[in-house]
Amino acid sequence: MLSNRPYLLRAFYQWIVDSGCTPILVIDATNPDCRIPMDYVDGGEIVFNVSPAAIRNFQISNQLLDFSASFSGIGHYISAPVSSILALYAEENGEGLFLDAEEELIGGEETTGAGTKNKRSHLRSIDGTSAESIDGFSMDAPPIVTAAKAKPVLKLVE
């Protein structure tokens, strides 16, 4: 099957824009196929405001995300593989799509050191287990629940 990543990115982008929020895009700048202004990279990542008013010619194909943007009055063409997208979220409330860096897959498969091919998913389990450990799950055993990292909350202090 095709990767669902570009489809999710397109859907979340449209949802954020339709909601009147500012879409923020985070790209893994360590990917050698990224065409980005390296002067703005911080900690191996680069963050873009990708609202329709801030950029031009925004496109997400099944393999590539690209657009034109200005930095300090200088126009840049930005291009990055969809696999290098780490997040697309609304600036106003932090809601959106957060992904792991993904290795380039050929036909939905990756090759191992032995030259064999394995199916690989970029989705993560909530409790951190892999798909291989879920296969051995016993229905008699109670589920293991781990605390997820809580979203920060602002409180009004009087």
Residue range 15-72, pLDDT digits in tens:
999 999 999 999 999 999 999 999 999 999 999 999 999 999 999 999 999 999 998 8
Residue 101 confidence (pLDDT) = 73
Distance CA 52, CA 117 (A): 40
Ramachandran category for residue 33: left, alpha or beta (phi over 0 → left; psi -120 to 50 → alpha)? alpha
**Average pLDDT of the chain, as a whole number:** 78
**CA angle 114–120–126, rounded 5-degree value:** 130
Residue 152 confidence (pLDDT) = 63
Mean pLDDT computed over 85-96:
96
Residue range 141-156, pLDDT digits in tens:
444 444 445 566 666 7
Q: What is the pTM of this model?
A: 0.65
Residue 71 confidence (pLDDT) = 86
Residue 157 confidence (pLDDT) = 74
E strand or H helix at 60 = strand 55-60
In the chain, domain spans: 5-106
Distance CA 99, CA 122 (A): 7
Asked if 30 contacts 78 with a C-beta cutoff of 8 angstroms, the reply is: no
Mean pLDDT computed over 68-93:
94
Q: Does domain 5-106 have CATH number 2.30.30.220?
A: yes
